[in-house]
Amino acid sequence: MHRSRFSAVVSPDRVVYLGLGSNVGDRTGYLREAIRRLEEKGLVLEAVSSAWETEPVGEILDQPDFLNAAIRVRSDLEPEALLDVLKAVEAELGRETGLPRHSPRVIDIDLLLMGDLEYESERLRLPHQETTSRRFVLAPLLELDPGLSLPDGTRLADAMSRLETELEGTAEGQDIRRAGPVMRD
């Protein structure tokens, strides 16, 4: 886990967890660059998980494996404004829009949790709807904060245990392995 030397400089009031993924090109490089640009846009980086490698899930399985990570940041932005920042960083890094869901991508940044906020709009749902159904989301989050819970009290460790039991013996394609650090010390 990497801790930013800048995390003590500013103390915005809300802890936010973001999920990052890439399966095109220099996957680790895209994760690092996304984190750097998020910091440039004012998010205060507190922690970065390891990179976790997973097979693609969804409708398009014939594509490279993903590297996924989670970061914990602090921000005083409102949910929609923060989503705009995430989408801007994706665009800056060359993320194509208008492609089918689960298509290959240079970067994907998801707003997973924003403190204990529950929020829903046309563009955004908090907590993210796939937080408890994807190992590649849960593993990095639990690495950052093993005691993390959703606003409704659901413990993510319990969600991971349930998911592992449900997937046991199936071909769901949610194999996951720690691939190493995202950030260099």
Positions marked active-site: 95, 105, 108, 110
As given in the structure block, the two tokens for residue 185 are 């010390």
Q: Distance between CA 2 and CA 91 in Å, rounded?
A: 25
Q: Distance between CA 69 and CA 143 in Å, rounded?
A: 10
3-state SS assignment for residue 24: coil
Torsions phi, psi for 4 (to 5 deg): -75, 140
| CA geometry: angle 177, 166, 156, nearest 5 deg | 65
Handedness of CA 89, 137, 147, 159 (dihedral sign): positive
As given in the structure block, the two tokens for residue 61 are 């399985």
